Chains A and B, each alone.
Chain A
Amino acid sequence: MKLYPKIAIDSMVKNKKLYLPYLLTCIIMVMMFVIVSAICSSRDLEYVEGGGVLARMMLIGMIVIGIFSIIFLIYTNSFLMKRRRTEFGLYNILGMSKGNIAKVLLFETIIIYIISMILGTISGVLFAKLGEMISVKLLDGDVQISFHLPVTAIVITAVLFAAIFFIIYIKSLIQISRLKPIELLKSVSQGERRLKVKWVSAVLGILFLGAGYYIALTTDDPVKAMYMFFIAVACVIIGTYLVFIAGSGALLDMLKRNKRYYYKKNHFVAVSSLRFRMNRNGAGLASICIIATMILVMISSTATAYIGSTSVFEKQYPRQFIISAFDYEKVMPIVNKCLDEEGIVQKNTLDYAMFDIMAEKDGDKLTYSRDNIVRNNSCNISVVCLDYYNTVENKHETLEDNEVIIQTLNMNGKFNYDKIYLENTQLNIKRVENRIGTNGFLIDREYFTIVVNDMDSVYRLYDVVKGFYSSSTIDVDRVNRFHCFDVDANRKEQQSIRSKILKDIDEYEKYNDIQGLYLIDSSADAYAEFLAVYGGIFMLGILLSFVFMIASVLIIYYKQITEGYEDENRFEILQNVGMTNKEIRKTINSQMLTMFFLPLIVAGIHIAFAFRIISKLLILFSIQDTMFQLTVTLICFAVFAVLYTLVYSITSRAYYRIVVKK
């Protein structure tokens, strides 16, 4: 074997404790990228309804993972290089020129690239197939899955990671060329020199954090929230890094100055060694904190969107089928006949009527807008009957004649009357339910739903409105009759029943005339589309969280292991000077507690501040249940904290094993 590859392989094998985790990181990053880009370019998905939307979302995920891979691999590699500088220094002193070292490094980089590409691609393709099957299943699709290699995905991955490893190589070269051999030899033992606390960056960091928090707390407009959110995220990321790096130094200096605290058995060693590695600690902690925040934001918002939208969906579809038509009297018999032919029994039938008009509001008086021109006091009114309300809201209300329940939107709870007048008709209000947000459309107009006791009342009110202004454009608005029902059939069958009904109506229309529009809607069809959107978001959220989770575990592991090797010597001295194993364990715990739970706590604070702007963003997905969002977020945080603690206990044990020798 040629000399350089041999040295490269030898030194990697000798440093396997350092190289294995690094290699594993590379493999996992390649794997995740292959998975997402494979799903993104999958042909199977194209045939599933809504698959296009999912593919587009995966594209966003691909970009995010790509960027993250670049940052993260460079970060982990810098750990590695720091440890290996001594070795390169030795080569240099023994007569290897920097050029020769560069060659060894080149072979190392190529070897790592090849291994991680091969293993990453294989595992990635296998997982991608699995992921694809899950997505198709999730979309209730009916596509036979054929095995084919995602060539495009692999090529993209190969190119991207070649670029990443090239950057890493160049960065290592710059590092090697800059250092003198004697410094190369010393760099591990010296650690970081006495570091001055950078007060300016600490203050700057706090300002950035404050700005991010301020934006998150003051953005109200859901549409604006989208890009304001990105600005806030950028501010918080910069702020977190600055605060952790400069701020942690300042904090530790403060602790050091507090003699009563500092000169205590448990704090003495922990505080000083944390301070010693302030810069690196700060950067590592900030990364962990940001990753933790990302995971939490992603998981909590996508879970809220996914679970929450199921209930929104159920409101839209109180029953499996919704039939409505202008020409209700003609359409209904066709539907009934079709169902009879198929031998399908209608269950849980729900009949209701409603009409929508635009009106002008003056206190508690509503008047029909004769010219349909939007004015300052314009509002939308829906009149609907109680059956519908009870079904959708899952309630058992009863109403008298002329008694109504009012639901308002966008009124900031300002509607507080006990009577309401529609034209000249007085209606007694039993209850007002004020809602904040929108009904899924981004309207800023006020919106009333007037719930009346039965269908006759709907028609009566309609006649009131119509009677007053029969000469106007009222022909556009009319009472819509709805007929909803369930059937004993699965989703697939429901979809085919719907097609059958539509076909029968088409058939009928060939010989007869049906006036106006009709609506034959089945929740099964809508559900497929719905799952494609929300299921896709949710899956992407989980996938990305998984990647970030692995990343943070590896960062933590890296920190522990590299620091373990650095601290080995230090703890030996401490033992010689008379520190008992018990005290060492306590010191390690106190050190680790800060190291570990500081990022978690700060991530919690970030989430708390992000909560409001996220809830504004969720309005875009028709979700406005703050309590629900809070519950989901808290559950996500709890689950994350448990996992995090698990990683903590495992890695701290690894650290302890390195540091303490029997």
Chain B
Amino acid sequence: MLLEVKHIKKVYTTRFGSISVEALKDVNFSVERGEYVAIMGESGSGKTTLLNILASLDRPTSGEVILDGVDVGKIKESNLAQFRRDNIGFVFQDFNLLDTFSVKDNILLPLVLAGKHHNSIETMAMEVAEKLGISELLDKFPYEISGGQKQRAAVARAIITDPDIILADEPTGALDSKSSQELLELFEKLNKSGETILMVTHSVLAASHANRILFIKDGEVFHQIYRGDSSDEQLYKKISDTLTMLASGGDEK
């Protein structure tokens, strides 16, 4: 088991503790190596909170996150950044590329931070860029390329450290449909080549490319669907139906 999430609870309190909001109640699931999991839910269902906790950007109120046998909660604050850098690859909705760096330097950033030697990392950047089809963009700056190209550069940055898991937060959120389609195909390709991907999204299309879909509602994992033998289209239908059911079920409550 690569990732185990046990009884995660997250409560936000106001500064003087008078009002508290429960973002996550009791989240349990696990991800195996090589899986491609999508987490779905409505706005405010706690998806992003969950992802931030998985990414060790935020700490849960209670519960454990175990990544590759390491209890993330027990890592010291000062070592967290390094832990993220070495074990987790990130893809964000708004790309999070740095304007000050060329595409190549953006991709190299985690490796430079890890203190790798400059000779070896440049060939790594070439290889990754080749794989994602952005070789000719390496010397451009982020403000000179399109959204889809930016997101591919961000993916390249996420996978160059060869992380245990790729966490993606609404990766298609800021992309047009063609770029979204291309990115999702890219994710599929990456997954087939062995990467573990965990994606948070509310796009049915994006989720329909995953192998397993978790639905979060009211701070809990409410339901999950496995792809099984379904094609993307069939899975798309299943997800839509589930969401409809979730919505109507919510109404009944």
Collect the chain A residues with CB atoms within 8 Å of residue B84's CB. Answer: 576-578
One of A191, A259, A260, A268 near B109 (C-beta < 8 A): A268
Q: How far is the CB of A285 from chain B (nearest CB, A)?
A: 18
A276 touches B81 (CB 8 A): no
Known contacts A263-B108, A265-B113, A268-B112, A580 near B100 by CB under 8 Å: no
Task: Determine if A264 is an interface residue (Cβ-Cβ < 8 Å).
Answer: yes
Q: Which residues of chain B from 95 to 122 have a CB within 8 Å of any chain A CB?
A: 96-101, 105, 108-110, 112-115, 118, 121-122
Q: List 24 A-B contacts (CB under 8 A).
A: A193-B143, A194-B144, A259-B118, A264-B112, A265-B113, A268-B105, A268-B112, A272-B98, A272-B105, A570-B98, A570-B99, A574-B98, A575-B81, A576-B55, A576-B57, A576-B96, A577-B96, A578-B82, A578-B84, A580-B80, A580-B81, A582-B78, A583-B81, A583-B113
Taking a contact as CB atoms closer than 8 A, the residue among B81, B97, B100, B143 that contacts A578 in the complex is B81
For the complex with contacts A263-B121, A580-B79, 8 further pairs of A-B residues with Cβ separation under 8 Å are A191-B99, A260-B118, A272-B100, A573-B97, A577-B85, A578-B86, A580-B80, A583-B81
Kindly report which residue of chain A lies nearest to residue B57, judged by CB atoms: A576
Partner of A581, one of B78, B100, B114: B78
B interface footprint on A186-228 (CB within 8 Å = 1, 0 otherwise) = 0001110110000000000000000000000000000000000
A193 vs B141: C-alpha distance when bound (angstroms): 9
Chain B residues touching A, majority SS: helix
What is the chain B residue whose CB lies nearest that of A570?
B98
Nearest-neighbour CB distance to chain A for B78, whole angstroms, equals 7
What chain A residues lie within 8 Å of B141 (beta carbons)? Answer: 194
Q: Does B215 contact A (CB under 8 A)?
A: no
Q: Judge if B236 is at the interface, Cβ distance under 8 Å.
A: no
Asked whether any CB of chain B lies closer than 8 Å to the CB of A579, the reply is yes
* Separation of A202 and B105 alpha carbons in the complex (Å): 27
A64 to B154, CA, bound (A): 53
The 10 closest A-B pairs by CB, nearest first: A578-B85, A263-B118, A580-B81, A276-B100, A573-B96, A578-B84, A272-B100, A273-B100, A259-B118, A268-B112
Do the beta carbons of B100 and A577 come within 8 Å of each other?
no
Nearest chain B CB to A188 CB, angstrom units: 11
Closest to A261 in B: B118
Report the bound CA distance from A269 to B112 in whole Å.
Answer: 10
* Complex-state Cα separation, A259 to B125, whole angstroms: 14
- Assuming A194-B141, A263-B112, A574-B98, is B105 touching A579 (CB within 8 A)? no
CA distance A190 to B109 in the complex (A): 20
**At the interface, yes or no: A606 with Cβ under 8 Å from chain B?**
no
B interface residues (Cβ-Cβ under 8 A, vs A) = 55, 57, 78-82, 84-86, 90, 92, 96-101, 105, 108-110, 112-115, 118, 121-122, 141, 143-144, 157
Residue of A193, A264, A578, A579 ringed by the most chain B CB atoms within 10 A: A578
Task: Bits for A559-595, please: 1 = Cβ < 8 Å to B, else 0.
Answer: 0000000000010011111111111000000000000
Give A contacts to B, CB under 8 Å.
189-191, 193-194, 259-260, 262-265, 268-269, 272-273, 275-276, 570, 573-583
Chain B residues near A269 (CB-CB < 8 A)? 100
Contacts of B98 in A (CB 8 A): 272, 570, 573-574
B110 touches A577 (CB 8 A): yes
Q: How far is the CB of B153 from chain A (nearest CB, A)?
A: 13
Q: Is there contact, CB below 8 Å, between B105 and A577?
A: no
Docked CA distance A205–B41 (Å): 61
B96 to A, closest residue via Cβ: A573
Q: How long is the Cα–Cα vector from A573 to B100 in the complex, in angstroms? A: 12
Contacts of B81 in A (CB 8 A): 575, 578-581, 583
Q: Which of B84, B92, B113 has the largest count of A CB atoms less than 10 A from its CB?
A: B113
Q: Which residues of A contact B79 (CB under 8 A)?
A: 580
Chain A residue numbers with a CB within 8 Å of B108 are: 263
Shortest beta-carbon distance, B168 to chain A, in Å?
Answer: 13
Q: Which of B99, B109, B144 lies in contact with A577, CB distance below 8 A? A: B109
Inside 8 A of A580's CB, which chain B residues have their CB?
A: 78-82
Q: In the complex, A8 Cα to B101 Cα: how many Å? A: 37
